[in-house]
Amino acid sequence: MTAVHYIGGRWVAGEGVDCITVYDPALGQPFAELAAASVAQVDQAIAAARQAFPGWRNLSAAQRAGYLKGFAEQLEARRETLIALQMQNNGKPHREAVVDIDDAVATFRYYAALAEKLDGQQNRDVLLSAPDFSAHTRFEPVGVVGLIVPWNFPLVTSAWKLAPALAAGCTVVLKPSEITPLIEQAYGHIADALGLPVGVLNIVGGKAEVGAALNNHPGIDKLSFTGSNAVGVQVMRSSAAHCRPVTLELGGKSAILVFDDCDLDQAAEWIVAGICWNAGQMCSATSRLLVQDSIADALVQRLKSAFEKLRVGNPLNGEVDMGPITSQAQWSKVSEYFDIARDEGLQCVTGGDVQRGPGWFVNPTIYADVPVVSRLWTEEIFGPVLCTHRFSREEDALALANDSRFGLVATVISADLVRAERVAQALEAGHVWINSIQTVFVETSWGGTKGSGIGRELGPWGLAGYQSVKHITRCVG
- Whether 44 has a pLDDT exceeding 70, the answer reads yes
Active site residue 249: yes
Q: Where are the domains of the chain?
A: 3-250+452-475, 255-441
Catalytic residue among 170, 262, 276, 283: 283
pLDDT-derived band of residue 356, with 50, 70 and 90 as boundaries? Answer: confident
Strand ranges for 76-187 from DSSP E: 124-126, 133-141, 144-148, 171-175
Give the pTM. 0.96
CATH (one of 3.40.50.10420, 3.40.50.9100, 3.40.605.10, 3.40.50.720) for 3-250+452-475: 3.40.605.10
Question: Residues 386, 368: contact at Cβ < 8 Å?
Answer: no
Give Cα separations from 334 to 95, 164, 284, 325, 338 (angstroms).
Answer: 24, 34, 17, 9, 7
Q: Would you give the distance in Å from CA 469 to the centre of its chain? A: 26
Fold of the domain spanning 255-441? Aldehyde Dehydrogenase; Chain A, domain 2 (3.40.309)
Active site residue 283: yes
Distance in angstroms (rounded) separating the CA atoms of residues 203 and 185? 7
Give Cα separations from 195 to 9, 61, 110, 175, 413 (angstroms).
Answer: 9, 17, 21, 21, 48
Q: Closest Cα to residue 172, out of 140, 208, 197, 147?
A: 147
Give percent of the chain with pLDDT exceeding 90: 99
For the stretch 59-85, pLDDT in tens is: 999 999 999 999 999 999 999 999 999
Distance in angstroms (rounded) separating the CA atoms of residues 209 and 175? 11
Q: Which residues share a beta bridge with 469?
A: 139
Catalytic residue among 249, 380, 428, 457: 249
Question: Residues 280, 272: contact at Cβ < 8 Å?
Answer: no
Mean pLDDT of the residues in the chain: 97
For the stretch 277-309, pLDDT in tens is: 999 999 999 999 999 999 999 999 999 999 999
For the stretch 117-135, pLDDT in tens is: 999 999 999 999 999 999 9
